[in-house]
Amino acid sequence: MYLLTRVRTADPARIPEAIEWSMDARDYVNANSSLDVSLHASVFGLPNGSITYATFVEGRAQWLAESGKLLADPVYQEKVRLGADLLAPAQDSLRQVLHLNGINIGDPRPAITQNWSADIARFQFDAAMAWGIEVTDHVVGLTGVPLALLAEHYGNFGTLVWIAALDSPQQADTMNEAIFADADWRKMVADAADLFIDGKTRVWLNRTLT
């Protein structure tokens, strides 16, 4: 199973209009394909006005088949044309689900998602993925927040991504405070310094648009 995301950034002067267009486009895609797309707006960590479309797919074949149908749909094409005036060109990501703790693929979308990414150093895939699963389970046990661990298949080679499914901004505060107060978590992060490329780790927070 893979998580496919598409990130586009709105013209700063037209963010409300871009969100309205994005919600309409999402609803059209969901009604006219087998995809179940959710929509997320950046809060911190991404450029202001970033909008993320996300859907789980079985693989590349499903995505190419469904996107091909949409590209042949004149109604969808007109929506794409209108969106080009509001949003920057898209950046797509395809991430394989490696480990889930507390998350089921069919669960309702969380209200808030916090995301982390880190690039594996010197092709240490086995050690980095084992550490990724260990730290995922530790954080879930510490905070009770469901987490997913994924591997990026395109873009930066060897990127791991964690996604926390949160019910509220308050829960995001509680989770982050618990993590940074936990000596075991801090030691795990310090011990993994050689597994990841220094300066490449990123963190961002999104809210789900309904």
Q: Tell which residue, 58, 52, 50, has the closest CA to residue 37.
A: 52
Residue 37 CA to residue 159 CA, distance in Å, equals 23
User: Residue 82 has what pLDDT?
Assistant: 92
Q: For residue range 189-204, list pLDDT tens digits in order.
A: 999 999 999 999 999 9
pTM as predicted: 0.94
Question: Domains in the chain and their CATH numbers?
Answer: 2-92 (3.30.70.100), 95-209 (3.30.70.100)
User: Residue 81 has what pLDDT?
Assistant: 94
Per-residue pLDDT band at 64 (split at 50, 70, 90): very high
Three-state DSSP string of the chain: CEEEEEEEEECHHHHHHHHHHHHHHHHHHHHCCCCCCEEEEEEECCCCCEEEEEEEECCHHHHHHHHHHHHCCHHHHHHHHHHCCCECCCEEEEEEEEEEECCCCCCCCCCEEEEEEEEECCCCHHHHHHHHHHHHHHHHHHHCCCEEEEEECCCCCCEEEEEEEECCHHHHHHHHHHHHHCHHHHHHHHHCHHHECCCCCEEEEEEEEC
What value does the mean pLDDT take over residues 45-65?
97
Model confidence at 106: pLDDT above 90: no
Model confidence at 62: pLDDT above 90: yes
Average pLDDT, the chain: 96
What value does the mean pLDDT take over residues 43-47?
97
What is the percentage of the chain residues whose pLDDT exceeds 70?
100
What value does the mean pLDDT take over residues 42-60?
97
Q: For residue range 131-186, list pLDDT tens digits in order.
A: 999 999 999 999 999 999 999 999 988 999 999 999 999 999 999 999 999 999 99
